[in-house]
Amino acid sequence: MSADKPRLIRSVRLLAAAEKRIEAEFLAPPSPATPLNTAAILKLAHEFQPTAVLVTHHAPLKGQDIAALPDCVKLVATVSVGLDHLDVPALLARGIAVSNTPDVLTDCNADLTMMLIIAACRRAAEYYTLMKKGWGHTLGMDEMLGHRVTGKTLGIIGMGRIGQAVARRAHGFEMNVLYHNRRQLDPAQEEGATYYASLEEMLPKCNILSLHLPAAPNGQPIMTARTLGLLPRGSVLVNAARGALIDETALIDALRSGQLAGAGLDVYRNEPNPDPRILALPNVFMTPHVGSATVETRTAMCMLALDNVAALVAGTPLPSPVTA
């Protein structure tokens, strides 16, 4: 390797195409066999003196972590859209640029959301459990019935890129789509959905509710016992955004009482160890925070992170900077 190549470190092993690019274009230590935590990435930063640090949620950088970064670091590139694990204002205040990987994971997150919607409505977790036990008896006409997805009213909270992509897919199921957002979008971005400025007015109209917004800085959930209670009895809740959006005790109560017929969840308050009470519920279809987990999307995320490093070194604008 040439010593004049840009120096970088990463907290996780990237996909094969990205690792090959690192070998060709950058100077970097060997790929970590297991994800590095914050202490390990800071130690490596002082030892290797990189210009850029690539991280994921495994290595959050907040508070004193940022003060501990060596002066050589000019960019923190997170291989994610979410920024919950970074104190962006503190990084920017130190003169360290920040980038993320928006857009490239929109479609796969929207696809997963549709999977969660269908699986929760059609009782996929319960059917799978029955089959793994050997089935063993035919089902009666009124036994283990799910809910039709086609024609239902879908409410979306958070009409950003992923919310819009979900709305497009929902129209393929002839769904009526409503949305609540901080502001109403231009008609060209609404994807035929109807805007509700008031969440309280929208919720009673939703057979299915899907969350697509960042977590609140103070960690307060948007779905509480009160807001869950505004949904029609027997509705379905889907969350592929952030676990902190839901009061999980209220969720459990709603699923046990029948206020919710089911839920489809990809994210949880305590990851990677979700509340065991949720794990025990039969009417929850669960995935392990894998919204972007396809070869195509994860490769694109890695490449975009490296594009940001290359742009920084070249003195050109970052492809996907985070500015606030």
Q: Rounded mean pLDDT of 109-134?
A: 98
Active site residue 137: no
pLDDT digits (tens, 9 = 90+) for 248-261: 999 999 999 999 99
Task: Report, in angstroms and rounded to the nearest whole number, the Rg of the chain calculated over CA atoms.
Answer: 22
Active site residue 271: yes
Task: Provide the pLDDT for residue 199.
Answer: 98
Mean pLDDT of the chain: 97
User: What's the CA angle centered on 314, arms 309 and 316, to 5 degrees?
Assistant: 90
CATH class of the domain whose range is 106-286: alpha beta
Which one is catalytic: 242, 248, 269, 298? Answer: 242
pTM above 0.85, yes or no: yes
pLDDT digits (tens, 9 = 90+) for 81-96: 999 999 999 999 999 9
- Our measurement of the distance from residue 91's CA atom to the centroid of its chain's CA atoms, rounded to an integer in Å, reads 22
pLDDT digits (tens, 9 = 90+) for 136-193: 999 999 999 999 999 999 999 999 999 999 999 999 999 999 999 999 999 999 999 9
pLDDT value at 217 more than 90: no
d(CA 145, CA 31): 48
Long-range contacts of 73-77 (CB under 8 A, 24+ apart): 73/45, 74/312, 75/51, 75/99, 75/308, 75/309, 75/312, 75/318, 76/52, 77/52, 77/53, 77/305, 77/306, 77/308, 77/309
Which one is catalytic: 23, 200, 201, 271? Answer: 271
Q: Specify which residues 262 forms β-bridges with.
A: 236
Active site residue 242: yes
| Of 90, 105, 101, 91, nearest in space to 320 by CA | 101
Q: Rounded mean pLDDT of 218-236?
A: 97
d(CA 233, CA 246): 18
Return the residue matching tokens 């024609």. Answer: 151
Long-range contacts of 290-294 (CB under 8 A, 24+ apart): 290/112, 290/266, 291/105, 291/108, 291/109, 291/112, 291/113, 291/240, 291/266, 292/80, 292/105, 292/108, 292/109, 293/108, 294/108
Tokens for 221, please give them.
């959930």
Band (1; pLDDT cuts 50, 70, 90): very low
For residue 183, how many other CB atoms are within 10 A of its CB? 7
Domain boundaries, the chain: 8-104+295-314, 106-286
Q: Are 30 and 14 in contact (CB under 8 A)?
A: no
Task: Provide the pLDDT for residue 324.
Answer: 81
Q: Rounded mean pLDDT of 222-245?
A: 98
pLDDT value at 77 more than 70: yes
Which one is catalytic: 13, 58, 94, 289? Answer: 289
d(CA 118, CA 125): 11
pLDDT digits (tens, 9 = 90+) for 281-300: 999 999 999 999 999 999 99
d(CA 150, CA 141): 20
Band (3; pLDDT cuts 50, 70, 90): low
Task: Provide the pLDDT for residue 301.
Answer: 98
Q: Rounded mean pLDDT of 44-73?
A: 97
Task: Provide the pLDDT for residue 4.
Answer: 83
pLDDT digits (tens, 9 = 90+) for 161-172: 999 999 999 999
CATH class of the domain whose range is 8-104+295-314: alpha beta
